[in-house]
C-alpha cells in the first residue's frame, strides 16, 4: 500500500472561482449554438457538474467512459471504450470535459472519435493541464489550471479509484 500523505495544491474556493470564469467564457463562445457537453467518466463528473451550472446557455449533457489505466498511476498506453454517449453526435457542437490531461493520449483519441462521428465541432475543457507530460499533440480550449508536477487527487481525480471525494486538489505523495 502506498502512502496517503497529501499536500494541498488547490483549495475549493480557487477551483470554484476558476469554474465560474470558464462557464462565462463557454457561454459566450457557444451563444446561439446547440451544445452537447460530454463528461469523461469517472474523473470529470464533479468538475462537470459545477461547470454546467456556471454555463448560462441551454445545453445537453452526456457521458463517455474510456480507460487507459489498469488501476494505479501509470497509463497502459492504449484506449478502451467502455461506454459511449447515447445522444446523437452528428452535426452537434461537442464540448469534452476532462478532469486532467497529461500525456494527451485519451483526449487525442476522444477528439478523433467525435470528429469521426460527424460532430459539427469538438472543443476540449480540462480542469487540470499537465503539459510537461504531453506525448500526443492536444489542443485544450478551456484550461482551469496548469500544474507542472505531482500525482494529483481530489475533486474527481483518483488514485486507484480512491480520493475522488476530496473537495480540493492535493498532490499524493507516492
Pull the grid cell for residue 122.
469538438
Instruction: Give SS3 for 73.
Output: coil
| CB-CB contact of 170 with 9 (8 Å) | yes
DSSP 21-65: HHHHHHHHHTTTS-EEEEEEETTTHHHHHHHHHH--S--EEEEEE
CB 120 within 8 A of CB 91: yes
Please give the helix or strand (H or E) that residue 145 lies within, else none: strand 142-146
β-pairing verdict for 93-101 and 121-129: parallel
d(CA 159, CA 71): 8
Residues 103, 136 contacting (CB under 8 angstroms): yes
Q: Which one from 29, 91, 99, 102 is the annotated catalytic residue?
A: 102
- 158 included as an active-site residue: no
Residues assigned a catalytic role: 102
Amino acid at each position: 500500500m502506498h502512502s496517503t500523505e497529501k499536500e494541498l495544491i488547490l483549495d475549493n474556493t480557487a477551483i470554484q472561482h476558476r469554474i465560474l470564469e470558464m462557464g462565462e467564457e463557454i457561454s459566450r463562445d457557444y451563444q446561439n449554438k446547440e451544445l452537447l457537453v460530454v463528461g469523461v467518466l469517472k474523473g470529470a463528473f464533479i468538475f462537470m457538474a459545477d461547470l454546467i451550472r456556471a454555463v448560462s446557455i441551454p445545453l445537453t449533457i452526456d457521458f463517455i467512459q474510456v480507460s487507459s489505466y489498469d488501476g494505479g498511476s501509470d497509463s497502459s498506453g492504449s484506449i478502451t471504450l467502455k461506454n459511449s454517449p447515447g445522444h446523437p453526435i452528428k452535426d452537434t457542437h461537442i464540448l469534452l470535459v476532462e478532469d486532467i490531461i497529461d500525456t494527451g493520449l485519451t483526449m487525442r483519441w476522444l477528439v478523433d472519435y467525435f470528429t469521426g462521428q460527424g460532430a459539427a465541432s469538438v472543443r476540449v475543457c480540462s480542469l487540470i493541464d499537465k503539459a510537461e507530460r504531453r506525448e500526443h499533440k492536444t489542443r485544450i480550449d478551456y484550461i482551469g489550471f496548469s500544474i507542472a508536477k505531482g500525482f494529483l487527487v481530489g475533486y474527481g481525480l483518483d488514485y486507484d479509484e480512491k480520493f475522488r471525494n476530496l473537495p480540493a486538489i492535493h498532490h499524493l505523495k507516492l
